[in-house]
Structure 1
Amino acid sequence: MRKTGWKITAVAALLAASIGLNMKSDLFSVFASASSSGGTIDQLEEELASHFQSRSEHFTLQYKGDKHKLSDGLQNTINVALSQDDYTAYILDSYLYTIRSWGNLSTIKLEARYRETTEQTAVVDEMVSKAISRIITPQMNEHEKVKAIHDWVVDKLQYDETLKHYTAYDALTTGTAVCQGYSLLAYKMLKASGIPVLIAEGKVKTGDHAWNMVELSGNWYHLDMTWDDPVVKQAGTQQAESRLSYNYYLKTDEEMRADHQWVKSYPAATQSYSSELSRLESTDSAKADVYEKLTTDLGLHWAEPEHTVASLVELEQDIREAVMEEQTSMHFRYLHGSELATDLPTAFKQAHVSVRYSAHYEPYGNDGSMLVQVQLDYQ
């Protein structure tokens, strides 16, 4: 199931800046201000970032300089300030600002609302610290840490079908969240483990969406834990089963663009993770077994030629060989996933083998191929 449901409202409620000496002073009476001295744009960015990160709800800043330059550029200045910490940016629900100027001195008053309180974030930090102490060991390298955190988050959470839980606090205390909650929790855990991480936003077929990006061995990758946590209805029941997947685990820009779009500028993700693991396995002999295990655990080995069936003719040959060797099962990736339902019975028929079979298959990644498991019964 493809899931969205996050709200891009961090800058949704914006009061247009007003400039002029004739502005009534009671316009600002609703603000309980903590004033700062005048400064440059760079100082303004730092002060804004500090107030947002400390969850200030009402604050006043001063700026010395061209009031028109300030008015035209304040929105960008706020965006830059928020970009210093993605966690803060994505728990900010809305903000309003006004500007009042006297000559070259401007007073900026800002009111902000947040989805998560400082007390709630403290709970998140404590729970994240405890989780990391359980799932991360000193022997793990950064690749192993990312997988451990991915698996913990996907196993811990279920997608919030009510679209009410947006924060890491919601995710940890209720066990459910929309994509924004997944991304915020992943951000906290990855950053606490020393992994460079970002929150990315964009669109998918069903609407707005958020996910993460991480840097490993100098390469950036996309990581969508929400979409790696599909909800599957068991046949004949109303019970939902959450299954672990790696279809959106450490993907390149090209791989993600198959069903994710984004317009903001993010670090380029160009290196295939499968190729990177192969390189590391061959160059880091001390950790070669670790990279080999990661390749297998993530299912990346199914993309290798020896595990791939590329045509109906090849499928028929593999079935014939499996029966001749009296194998009880077959496991492979079939390139033409959309044709598997017809190709599989056709291949068994054309192979002229006396055997019954049952098959289970599911999409492999988003390239149209299928991961297939066939059980053979010789009775």
Structure 2
Amino acid sequence: MRKTGWKVTAVAVLLAASIGLNMKSDLFSVFASASERGGTIDQLEEELASQFQSRSEHFTLQYKGDKHKLSDGLQNTINLALAQDDYTAYILDSYLYTIRSWGNLSTIKLEARYRETTEQTAVVDEIVTKAIAQIITPGMNEHQKVKAIHDWIIEKLQYDETLKHYTAYDALTTGTAVCQGYSLLAYKMLKAVGIPVLIAEGKVKTGDHAWNMVQLNGDWYHLDLTWDDPIVKQAGTETQAASTISYNYYLKTDDEIHVDHQWVKTYPTANHSYSEELKKLESTDSAKASVYEKLKTAIGLQWTEPEHTVASLVELEQDIREAVMEQQTSMHFRYLHGSQLAADLTAAFKAAHVSVRYSARYEPYSNDGSMLVQIQLDYQ
């Protein structure tokens, strides 16, 4: 089972031309006056963003202008306000608004509910600050920071099979969360170290899902921490893999993640291979070449290189023959045709005409259909 758990924000909208809901008398009120600059809608957007980000539950705004333009465009203005901060957008549980108009003056009253309080977010900020002080060291570049945060979150959290924990606060205080909690916590931590980050939402085979997008050196990548926190099958059940970190969904392009992720909004294009980026950095930044080499090996990108890849049955047979001639005791490589691996191994050893026993272990590499293979050779 692939882990999901993204819960779509519920939106309740009520429009009224001349009447509205009765609200509490202590509602916050701002008059967004029209000006010669024509900034009324922009002012509404900024004030909405400010109120949402401060977790206001009841507030009132005023608009001076065409009431039809307001009623037709308010939903889009709210969406733009929420888009200013993904953390706010994805802890907003629901909202309800009314519009009451007299001539060209309209009053907008809005009620909002949040999944995380300001006090809970303060706890998140405190824990994040302490964690970053522990895992981010002086001299780390952005690439190292992303990996450190990715690994810390996966080691810290387990997927919430009860589907009840949706926030970063839930994640940090219970140790469990669904995909939304993973994404919110990653957003907080990456933002805290100055790395541009977004929360993406979409669909996977098992339902709605959320993950992150990260920008490094001007290029955007997909980053799905939830699916990099593996679940393994034991005794007919699926459980969290202990102390295991995967990088199958680490800094992927649109094409790479599109295999099993579909998104429902427009996001920055991610078309730059992270493997190629590390190769470029390794060759152009000689002072830190060893850093990039170590990073490449740690996340398993060395298996994408030709010298570690076996692309066909014929090539597999040749590699087996060479290994036996050199009396190697093991082979480790990525086989591109993962679905054919078992049959191809049998065929390759038979065709190689070698007198050796072997045992093989293999597991899927990334989500591209290839397999990471380890073969032990026994000459007795």
The answer, yes or no, to whether TM exceeds 0.5 is: yes
Q: Is structure 2 residue 35 aligned with structure 1 residue 16?
A: no
Q: Which amino acid aligns with 1:330?
A: M
Q: Equivalent residue for 1:323?
A: 324
Q: Equivalent residue for 2:299?
A: 298
> Equivalences for 1:1-379 in 2 at 5 Å?
1-9=1-9, 12-20=10-18, 23=19, 27-29=21-23, 32-39=26-33, 40-234=40-234, 240-242=240-242, 243-379=244-380
Q: Which amino acid aligns with 1:19?
A: A
State the alpha-carbon separation in 1 of the partners of residues 248 and 238 from structure 2.
Answer: 25
The 8 Å contact of residues 159 and 240 in structure 2, kept in 1 or not, is answered as no
Residue 154 (structure 1) shift: 1.3
Q: Which amino acid aligns with 2:12?
A: L
SS at match of 2:11: coil
State the alpha-carbon separation in 1 of the partners of residues 345 and 202 from structure 2.
Answer: 38
Residue 233 (structure 1) shift: 2.2
Q: Structure 1 unaligned segments of length 5 or more: list them.
A: none
Residue 30 (structure 1) shift: 5.2
Residue 238 (structure 1) shift: 7.6
The 8 Å contact of residues 28 and 109 in structure 1, kept in 2 or not, is answered as no
Cα distance 1:29–1:238, how it changes in 2: closer, same or farther (>3 A)?
closer
Residue 38 (structure 1) shift: 2.9
Q: Equivalent residue for 2:36?
A: none
Residue 267 (structure 1) shift: 0.9
Q: Equivalent residue for 2:37?
A: none
State the alpha-carbon separation in 2 of the partners of residues 38 and 236 from structure 1.
Answer: 60
The 8 Å contact of residues 38 and 105 in structure 1, kept in 2 or not, is answered as no
RMSD of aligned C-alpha atoms?
1.5
Q: Which amino acid aligns with 2:376?
A: Q
Out of 348-357 and 169-178, give the one that drifted further: 348-357
Residue 5 (structure 1) shift: 1.5
Out of 320-329 and 210-219, give the one that drifted further: 320-329
Task: Report the count of equivalent residues.
Answer: 373
State the alpha-carbon separation in 1 of the partners of residues 25 and 139 from structure 2.
Answer: 51
State the alpha-carbon separation in 2 of the partners of residues 360 and 176 from structure 1.
Answer: 31
Q: Which amino acid aligns with 2:15?
A: A
Identity of aligned residues (%): 80
SS at match of 2:293: helix
Residue 236 (structure 1) shift: 7.8
The 8 Å contact of residues 365 and 371 in structure 2, kept in 1 or not, is answered as yes
Which string of whole-angstrom CA distances, capped at 9 and with x for unpartnered residues, describes residues 227-268 of structure 1?
A: 111211246888642421111111111111111111311111
Which string of whole-angstrom CA distances, capped at 9 and with x for unpartnered residues, describes residues 260-296 of structure 1?
A: 1113111111111111111111111111111111111
Out of 187-196 and 359-368, give the one that drifted further: 359-368
State the alpha-carbon separation in 2 of the partners of residues 217 and 31 from structure 1.
Answer: 50
State the alpha-carbon separation in 1 of the partners of residues 288 and 25 from structure 2.
Answer: 57
State the alpha-carbon separation in 2 of the partners of residues 313 and 131 from structure 1.
Answer: 50
State the alpha-carbon separation in 2 of the partners of residues 123 and 165 from structure 1.
Answer: 16
Q: Output the TM-score relative to the length of structure 2.
A: 0.95
Cα distance 1:358–1:96, how it changes in 2: closer, same or farther (>3 A)?
same
State the alpha-carbon separation in 1 of the partners of residues 4 and 76 from structure 2.
Answer: 27
State the alpha-carbon separation in 1 of the partners of residues 25 and 183 from structure 2.
Answer: 32
State the alpha-carbon separation in 2 of the partners of residues 69 and 350 from structure 1.
Answer: 74
The 8 Å contact of residues 61 and 108 in structure 1, kept in 2 or not, is answered as yes
State the alpha-carbon separation in 2 of the partners of residues 149 and 4 from structure 1.
Answer: 21
Q: Which amino acid aligns with 1:343?
A: D
Residue 185 (structure 1) shift: 0.3
Which string of whole-angstrom CA distances, capped at 9 and with x for unpartnered residues, describes residues 127-171 of structure 1?
A: 111111111011100000001111111111111111111000111
Q: Structure 2 unaligned segments of length 5 or more: list them.
A: 34-39
Cα distance 1:47–1:62, how it changes in 2: closer, same or farther (>3 A)?
same
The 8 Å contact of residues 2 and 230 in structure 1, kept in 2 or not, is answered as no
Q: Which amino acid aligns with 2:340?
A: E
Cα distance 1:31–1:241, how it changes in 2: closer, same or farther (>3 A)?
farther
State the alpha-carbon separation in 1 of the partners of residues 349 and 176 from structure 2.
Answer: 44
State the alpha-carbon separation in 2 of the partners of residues 268 and 324 from structure 1.
Answer: 48
Q: Which amino acid aligns with 1:185?
A: L
Q: Which amino acid aligns with 2:329?
A: T
SS at match of 2:262: coil
Which string of whole-angstrom CA distances, capped at 9 and with x for unpartnered residues, describes residues 28-50 of structure 1?
A: 23575111123311111111111
SS at match of 2:28: coil
Cα distance 1:91–1:238, how it changes in 2: closer, same or farther (>3 A)?
closer
